[in-house]
Structure 1
Amino acid sequence: MLITETEGPGNLQNVCCFITTPGGTIALNVLDVRGNVTKTFIGTNDSEATNQDPTGGGAPGNNMVQVTGFEYDGGIAGGDNNLTKQTEYATDSDTRITSFTYDWRNRNIDTDGEITYFQRLYYDNLNRITKAEQFDTTSAGNLVTRSENKYDDLSRIFQTIRYGIDSSTGTVGNSLTDNTWYDAAGNIIKQLPAGSDLFIKQIYDSLGRRTTTYWAYDLDETDYADAGSVIDDIVIEQTETAYDDAGNVIQKNSRQRYHDAAASQTGALQNPSTTPKARVTYLATYSDAIGRRIATVNYGTNGGTSLTRTSTIPSRSDTVLVTSKSYDSAGRFYQTTDPAEKVIQTEYDARGREIQRTMNVQASSSSSSSSGCPESLDANIIVTTDYNADGNISNIVANNSLSGNQTTTYTYGTTLSDSEIATTTLKRSETYPDSEDSSDVIFFKYNRQNQITEIQDQGNTVHSYDFDKLGRQTQDRVTALGTGVDGAVRRIATTYEVRGMKDTASSFDNASVGSGAIVNEVKFAYNDFGQLITDYQSHSGAVNTSTTPKVQYEFANGSDNTIRPTTLTYPDGRILTYNYGASDKIDNAISRVAALVDNDMSSTHLTDYSYFGLRNFVEVDYTEPDVEYTLIGTAGGNDPDTGDIYRGLDRFGRVKDSYWYDYSSSSEVERIQYGYDRVGSRTYRKNVVADTLSKKFDELYNYDGINRLKDIDRGKLNSLKDAITDLQFAECWSLDQTGNWSNYRQDDTGNGTWDLNQSRTNNKVNEITDITESAGPSWVTPAYNKAGNMISMPKPADPTTSFSATYDAWNRVVRIVEGVNTVAEYEYDGVKRRVIQKSYTGGVLNETRHLYYTEPNQWQVLEERVGSSTDPELQFVWGLRYRDDLVLRDRDTTNNGTLNERLYGLQDGNWNVTSIINTSGIVQERFNYDAYGKPQFLDSSFNSQISSSFDWEVLYCGYCWETSTELFHVRNRVYHSTLGCWIQRDPIGYADGPSLYQYCNSFPLNHTDSSGEGAVLVLGAIVGFFCALWLLATIAKTQGCRSICDYPGCVSDCMDELEGSYADNLQDFAGAGCVIGLVICLLRVAFNQLTPGGGTGYPPGGSPGNNQGNPLWNSLTACKKCPENKNVA
């Protein structure tokens, strides 16, 4: 926001005393005689304000309110000017007080916050923090956290230690140690974080530029002299960076160790022909005369040949992917041209803010058409952004020539009649493009700490939020229900344990705190390091820790400097073990899971994993049925295109051969081959096994100018893989600018006649308002409530009839009805998980199913029970490659408490389950899907059948299919694959594009959306879900900033890495790590700038998740912090 600094009231001349934003918000500080800020007031009218009373004594119109208060030296004159108390006002009577104590050197030693927060800092004689501890409530309370820093003679931290503490007793347990080594110039040359033996070594040139980064380990390395060498190290990955004479990055090489390179092969990684062997990928970059990046060229593996960078930017081709950039006269990014020569153009206002983005820039508005559907509107796709005087976004306009331009308006400005603070900087309302009147709006209310205290949606459902003294949300109360909204749950209450982690989440049937009954409850328990170890899940009433079903987690105890996961225990007691291999193997050394092991009598290895590089899965061995997923293949030798042994990957790391192989019979079980265009869109899908059985399930794809799918043909691919012969099925789409299906056609038999020719009309918020047809059956047109939930929809199994849906106050589907008969009902716990599913037949309850999950961030179904039974009917084992990577399902088919049926799931390159096999490796059933996920059930020979013979429910992209409704439950939302869209708006808003209903940006063949909140590019099993967790645990902490004052350099370093990386495939792990580090760096910056005195543990008077402080106040005071480097983590 722009800040206008002006002279204060009266004759005060300190410019930090009085600030007015361009929109008219006033921040006024009251100063003591030393010039210290003692009070901060915010408002929009300071009528008759004085130096000591900004409220003007209650003058008419004056709306200044106090947001913070500060006391120095305990309020006693003549002290050392130390801040000893800080008071944050949520309301006039609801305050959050933090007290500070100092030693004789005026160093802050104790921070006493609200509730249970008490922190103590220890210093050495050089004023460096050597230890930080947190206690329960007071210094006499139990110790709950402890960390230590150790410094070298140059005051650099070379070791950090974090202790495991039993918070119930204060007992100190094992510790985790991070170590850092520096060279003589002060560069970090080695970092060994806790968690494994994997370290990172970095080599620099004479100018201090990082030229090589190694991820490696050496179990015997102890000498400092070895920190700068990898000659005896087992290197897992490495990146090399070359610079020109001006210091611009010109080339990056990435090497990833072969999966079968023995640990005895030490030293820097080489290439596919020299040990230690590695897959090598190359990036070249080009800069203009003033050092701006103008092109990035991705060569991938370059066919296995070492890259010699050309002096000029090469031409685009299928094997040379060039992304170029141009700049406007002010030096800002103006146009980006992708490898397919599609242009994105960005325009800015005079303040450098983006005001318009245009995709697929064309000289005219010509659009693309497919062979069957009318043209799509894919040229010059424009989104404009407007700002208000304070710099906040006021309008987002997505141009759409069919529905009309879609304008979403954000109105700012609260008053004391609607909130506890009057300011122009807080959003008062959101108005969606379909708003019919002034009440068809989302309204917000706030407390003085900028926390939202109330949201009223367009349907008049009101959520009121309560916070504790640490600023954490404790209650989500539904104080008013809109028309048709289910009210079985009216309140979700959250409690916290002493370290700040969530303790319970309870759903109540009454909005008033202290009233009503608990509908369901979850409770969490944690180990000494704060890791979740027990997740109690009560589906009726409060948790009883003796009887409530629970999911348990076990971790290494830290004695070996790791707290890696070791087991997962199911509600019925089944244990899944994470095996890390032999102690002398690479997997164990770098804490990489080598196998998932069952706790049955024979300790069955359910999966064995092989990797190249750090976390790139190349083999997944189902040892029980002797079936293996392989990206290596069976042909042997190097792939002629990539020049290395990984035949399942193309030169850019994309899966081209998804191969499930039965090694006991040397036969193909499932094999899908893919081709790609220059921007990574899949151009064909060849089903090799179906071809072998003379069944025609190959597919050919075409895309429009912004890479949205526009048609699919299914049949038999020709030898060039650019046409389909013997057509069996076809679909095509005409899309408008925001991704709505204006026309959809389907040829069910491949005879060239459209069996369905459908036109759809959408309103300005992308809701379907009409479906008509010129051929085929007449579908039901959906209807929506004010909050945007689809309350009437085509029945997926028969779109000519309808389902009606009821939602609760959190926009969760709670009931599906056909006519007058209930089809299904659902209940959810306090962390959003669907825990009860009731199925009806003819309106009569047929089954009540209880679902138990992994922890809320994973949200995977582990076990299902029916009725009151304590025995599971179903259990699922999930793999590590992807959030919904299903390994197997065990089922009780006889209702006798024994899981007598085991089926393994085989996935294709988009995580669709395409086959299930038994423990002998025999295919039991196959599945095919249309482009947007509607399943087709097949027998083992690809013959069509009506439904699954095994009631199989994990299907498209690994999503959960509900047989009774044929809807997909995808965590935060429900997906209607027949319509090809979500039935609720995206809960995170426009983060994923201008349509809140569009599935995966109309790019379903390369993307999944396992959260229901945003499409994710499929990385082809190159970087799995486990890899992401590992990156967060290791690379991030080595690439992040050490303090707020380091962040400009951090950003600069990270941007170098980011721009040089091929983000779509995360080929450059250094780039990937630095991206994560950059995010953490910026979060730290925001956290410290928005929390006076913050940065160690909870901020004074606050906690994670709290909008601590007021940004205007921080504008006044932030200048004091960074130069002195005070109170910075």
Structure 2
Amino acid sequence: MSLSYTAGGLLASRTDARAVETNYDHDVYGQVAATTTGSYPAVMRDHDPLGRLLSLTDREGATTTFAYDDRGLVTERTDPQGATVTHGYDGAGRRISTTDRNGDTVTTEYTATGKVARQEYADGTTVSYRYDAHDRLVEMTDPHGSMANSYDGAGRLIASTDANGHSVGYAYDAAGNLTELTYPDGRTVSYGYDALNRLRTVTDWAGRTTEYVYDPAGRLVLQLNANGSVVNYHYDTADRLTRLTHRRSDASVVWEQQFSLDGNGNRTQEVREAPLHPVSLEAGETPLSYNAERTRLQTAGGESFAYDAEGQLTDRSGTTLAFDPAHRLVGLGADTQYAYDGAGNRLAATRDGVTTQYIHDAAGNLIAEADAGGTITRHYVHGQGLIALIEGDTAYTYHFDALGSTVAITDADEAIVNAYSYRPYGRVVERSEAVPQPFTYVGQYGVMEEAAGLYYMRARYYDAEVGRFISEDPIGFEGGLNLYAYVGGNPIVGVDPEGTWVVNAVGGIIGGVAGGIGACLDGCNVKDALIGAGTGAAAGALSPLSVGRTVGATFARGAGLSSASNVVAQGISIGTDADQSFVQNFNALEVVGAGIGGGAASAITRPFGKTLAEQISAGVIGFGPSNAGTLIGRNVSSSFNAGK
């Protein structure tokens, strides 16, 4: 990559490794006024003398405008359709009200120390928070019940109980690594680490052990599954994955991918051996049409789409979708309903009258399912990503491709019981399934398949049939100019399991439950994010490029890419320049929720702007789980507190 600058030291152009040039024009205040990439139309920005963004016009000519109060806090954001989001603040600059484009208002109250104490939504529902003397969240009460947390003397979470009454326990070693996870029914999973605090073993209650082996460079090279199957990772000298192989103990192949890379690291060819291939690939085109501003999809082939003023999909060819005032999908057609707690965790789903309760650990991993009466029916085991599904005493092992999608599931005898094949954007085209289960496309990272081609990606739902999200990005333009786009149009290497930020999947593992929990609970200032609470920084104005809605489902859900494994933050996909602006303070549940995995293949799973990008490039990723999480967490906290 090459850069050029103006005489005044401003960035004038950037040419990437593919020789694509981006030019920057500046206004009289030195702010970027226009960004032009290749032959595409320019992205235009207008700033006031104080450097505040007044308007942003995308390449299609759609303009979003922003207004501020005397303190520089965003008070209004008007979208290209003319709908406005408004914000109100108290004397300390903390956001106390937000009225969205549907006219729904959420109000927020704070404790004396600046913690979020209570929120009330437009439908009258409330969420309240109670903290201990150390400002740690000990209770959250919402319409579904109460969530409670308890801590040890070192301030580490040792027990959490959700609104359905399911309790999860945690134990740690002296370095702060998670050593034991206790499920609500008393079953335990233990974790072992090497001298560098890298996850080495995961052992369930029946003694089934998964092992991880690293090379001298700290790269994961071997995963020994509990059923005897093995996973091998091969890299080139630039640490890029070149081959991923799943084999049985007799050396027969379950799945294999081999990649050819060009000099810039782009994949130019893939050769695979798979248990299931598409029978045929249909040729043809699907015509698409959009609204006048070209921001919302209206038709795709024979499908039609309708939205509310907030940009949420409300009808798809006669199938209705319902959202609550917190912008969470609560109804899909007449037969499916979803329930969430105050932090945005999905507590339950009712499909055709059958209710399934979901039980998560503090890192946001789904660890168990229960029936309507609360009886656990299925367990999931996580380590460096999702490892196994256990029903009764029967264990099944997951096998993922380089993108993190489930390609096979094997039983204790290493026989394939499930196999899947996908289109690039995630549509399942072939399925052989003896054991129905939800983790298919990008399932390694906790993404769950739903009906009608939808996938639950925490902050929002993704429609694989059209390759778009069904609602706007909660972080707004910080995630790119197209608020509905999935992975910036590059599903070959990109994943977005949180529904907010694109990361490049390189196939393998990084800090799932063990790294995620161990990292942030080791004294870092973002640990409240692990347990779905607001923090001291959770008050104030969003940057103008952010949508300005509460994104508790994203940031308060927990640390880590949840079950995300082997996702490496190789680049931040922010279409409006990562360092142009970023979230300065979060409102209510918009907590820092860093999501730090651990080990040699750890990753940041939330976009924290230039400061975090610099930490990534400086090599912070690669420390052990606790150290990496603590260091990055503190940098995040100091950056946010400084208002950068």
Q: TM-score range by the shorter chain?
A: 0.7 to 0.9
Preserved CA contact (<8 Å) 1:616 1:1024: no
1:782 alignment partner, SS class: strand
1:1011 alignment partner, SS class: coil
Alignment-mate amino acid for residue 996 of structure 1: L
Deviation at 1:1022, TM superposition (A): 6.9
What's the counterpart of residue 470 of structure 1?
113
1:1084 alignment partner, SS class: helix
Deviation at 1:792, TM superposition (A): 0.6
What's the counterpart of residue 673 of structure 1?
258
Deviation at 1:1021, TM superposition (A): 2.8
Which of 208, 229, 236 is matched with 1:650 structurally? 236
Which of 320, 323, 335 is matched with 1:804 structurally? 320
Instruction: Confirm or deny that 1:409 pairs with 2:65.
Output: yes
TM-score normalised to structure 1 length: 0.46
Preserved CA contact (<8 Å) 2:622 2:628: no
What's the counterpart of residue 507 of structure 1?
142
Instruction: Confirm or deny that 1:555 pairs with 2:172.
Output: yes
What's the counterpart of residue 212 of structure 2?
609
Q: Structure 1: how far apart are the matches of 2:463 and 2:511? A: 27
**Any residues of structure 2 matched to 1:882-1031 within 5 Å, and which?**
885-891=385-391, 899-939=392-432, 948-958=433-443, 959-962=446-449, 964-1021=451-508, 1024=511
Q: Structure 2: how far apart are the matches of 1:568 and 1:1068? A: 24
What's the counterpart of residue 393 of structure 1?
53
User: Does the C-alpha gap of structure 1 residues 608 and 848 become closer, same or farther in structure 2, counting only changes over 3 Å?
Assistant: same
Instruction: Confirm or deny that 1:784 pairs with 2:427.
Output: no
Q: Structure 2: how far apart are the matches of 1:1011 and 1:1059? A: 22
Deviation at 1:1084, TM superposition (A): 2.6
Deviation at 1:832, TM superposition (A): 0.7
Preserved CA contact (<8 Å) 1:328 1:334: yes
Q: Structure 1: how far apart are the matches of 2:498 and 2:351? A: 24
What's the counterpart of residue 248 of structure 2?
662
Describe the superposition over 1:693-733 as per-residue Cα deviations: whole angstroms up to 9, x where unpaired. Answer: xx866xxxxxxxxxxxxxxxxx9xxxxxxxxxxxx42xxxx
What's the counterpart of residue 32 of structure 2?
354
Preserved CA contact (<8 Å) 1:675 1:684: yes
Which of 206, 209, 228 is matched with 1:626 structurally? 228
Instruction: Confirm or deny that 1:591 pairs with 2:193.
Output: no
Describe the superposition over 1:775-825 as per-residue Cα deviations: whole angstroms up to 9, x where unpaired. Answer: xxx22x1111111110012xxxxxxx53101111101111122xxxx2201
What's the counterpart of residue 350 of structure 2?
838
Preserved CA contact (<8 Å) 2:152 2:158: yes
What's the counterpart of residue 1044 of structure 1?
none
2:241 alignment partner, SS class: coil
Q: Structure 2: how far apart are the matches of 1:411 and 1:1056? A: 26
Instruction: Confirm or deny that 1:429 pairs with 2:61.
Output: no
User: Does the C-alpha gap of structure 1 residues 1035 and 649 become closer, same or farther in structure 2, counting only changes over 3 Å?
Assistant: farther
Q: Structure 1: how far apart are the matches of 2:520 and 2:617? A: 19
Q: Structure 2: how far apart are the matches of 1:989 and 1:1035? A: 30
Preserved CA contact (<8 Å) 1:762 1:770: no
Q: Structure 2: how far apart are the matches of 1:464 and 1:1031? A: 32
Q: Structure 2: how far apart are the matches of 1:1086 and 1:574? A: 39
Deviation at 1:678, TM superposition (A): 4.4
What's the counterpart of residue 298 of structure 1?
none
Describe the superposition over 1:174-222 as per-residue Cα deviations: whole angstroms up to 9, x where unpaired. Answer: xxxxxxxxxxxxxxxxxxxxxxxxxxxxxxxxxxxxxxxxxxxxxxxxx
Identity among equivalent positions (%) equals 19
Alignment-mate amino acid for residue 442 of structure 2: C
Describe the superposition over 1:436-471 as per-residue Cα deviations: whole angstroms up to 9, x where unpaired. Answer: xxxx21111111111111111111101111112112
1:956 alignment partner, SS class: coil
Which of 123, 129, 136 is matched with 1:494 structurally? 129
Preserved CA contact (<8 Å) 2:29 2:51: no
Deviation at 1:550, TM superposition (A): 0.5
What's the counterpart of residue 582 of structure 2?
none
What's the counterpart of residue 360 of structure 2?
853
Preserved CA contact (<8 Å) 1:865 1:874: yes
User: Does the C-alpha gap of structure 1 residues 331 and 1079 become closer, same or farther in structure 2, counting only changes over 3 Å?
Assistant: farther
Deviation at 1:685, TM superposition (A): 2.7
Q: Structure 2: how far apart are the matches of 1:503 and 1:655? A: 43
**Any residues of structure 2 matched to 1:255-274 within 5 Å, and which?**
none
What's the counterpart of residue 545 of structure 2?
none
Q: Structure 2: how far apart are the matches of 1:839 and 1:888? A: 24
Root mean square deviation of aligned Cα? 3.2
Deviation at 1:854, TM superposition (A): 0.9
User: Does the C-alpha gap of structure 1 residues 506 and 661 become closer, same or farther in structure 2, counting only changes over 3 Å?
Assistant: same
Q: Which runs of 5+ in 1 are unaligned?
A: 1-322, 362-378, 414-422, 481-486, 509-518, 540-547, 581-586, 632-647, 698-714, 716-727, 730-747, 794-800, 892-898, 940-947, 1038-1054, 1091-1110, 1112-1129
User: Does the C-alpha gap of structure 1 residues 1085 and 810 become closer, same or farther in structure 2, counting only changes over 3 Å?
Assistant: closer
Alignment-mate amino acid for residue 604 of structure 1: R
Q: Structure 1: how far apart are the matches of 2:192 and 2:292? A: 53
Deviation at 1:535, TM superposition (A): 1.1
Describe the superposition over 1:540-598 as per-residue Cα deviations: whole angstroms up to 9, x where unpaired. Answer: xxxxxxxx320111112x4xxx2321100111111000023xxxxxx1x2222210011
1:529 alignment partner, SS class: coil
Q: Structure 2: how far apart are the matches of 1:524 and 1:765? A: 46
Q: Which runs of 5+ in 2 are unaligned?
A: 526-609
Alignment-mate amino acid for residue 382 of structure 1: A
Q: Structure 2: how far apart are the matches of 1:446 and 1:960? A: 35
Alignment-mate amino acid for residue 255 of structure 2: E
Q: Structure 2: how far apart are the matches of 1:983 and 1:1027? A: 31
Q: How many residues align?
A: 555
Preserved CA contact (<8 Å) 1:434 1:765: no
TM-score normalised to structure 2 length: 0.79
Q: Structure 2: how far apart are the matches of 1:848 and 1:1006? A: 35
Deviation at 1:326, TM superposition (A): 1.8
What's the counterpart of residue 534 of structure 2?
none
Q: Structure 2: how far apart are the matches of 1:953 and 1:1078? A: 32
Q: Structure 2: how far apart are the matches of 1:824 and 1:962? A: 13
**Any residues of structure 2 matched to 1:270-289 within 5 Å, and which?**
none
What's the counterpart of residue 383 of structure 1?
43
Preserved CA contact (<8 Å) 2:257 2:401: yes
Preserved CA contact (<8 Å) 2:176 2:522: no
Preserved CA contact (<8 Å) 1:1036 1:1074: no
**Any residues of structure 2 matched to 1:142-181 within 5 Å, and which?**
none
Deviation at 1:503, TM superposition (A): 1.5
Preserved CA contact (<8 Å) 1:654 1:1020: no
1:991 alignment partner, SS class: helix
1:990 alignment partner, SS class: helix
Q: Structure 1: how far apart are the matches of 2:86 and 2:163? A: 34
Deviation at 1:424, TM superposition (A): 5.5
Instruction: Confirm or deny that 1:579 pairs with 2:102.
Output: no
Deviation at 1:838, TM superposition (A): 0.6
Where relative contact order (Cα < 8 A, 6+ residues apart) is larger, the structure is 2
What's the counterpart of residue 296 of structure 2?
767
What's the counterpart of residue 636 of structure 1?
none
Preserved CA contact (<8 Å) 1:916 1:923: yes
Alignment-mate amino acid for residue 97 of structure 2: E
Preserved CA contact (<8 Å) 2:127 2:141: yes
User: Does the C-alpha gap of structure 1 residues 1058 and 983 become closer, same or farther in structure 2, counting only changes over 3 Å?
Assistant: closer
Deviation at 1:915, TM superposition (A): 0.5
Describe the superposition over 1:20-63 as per-residue Cα deviations: whole angstroms up to 9, x where unpaired. Answer: xxxxxxxxxxxxxxxxxxxxxxxxxxxxxxxxxxxxxxxxxxxx
Q: Structure 2: how far apart are the matches of 1:619 and 1:1035? A: 31
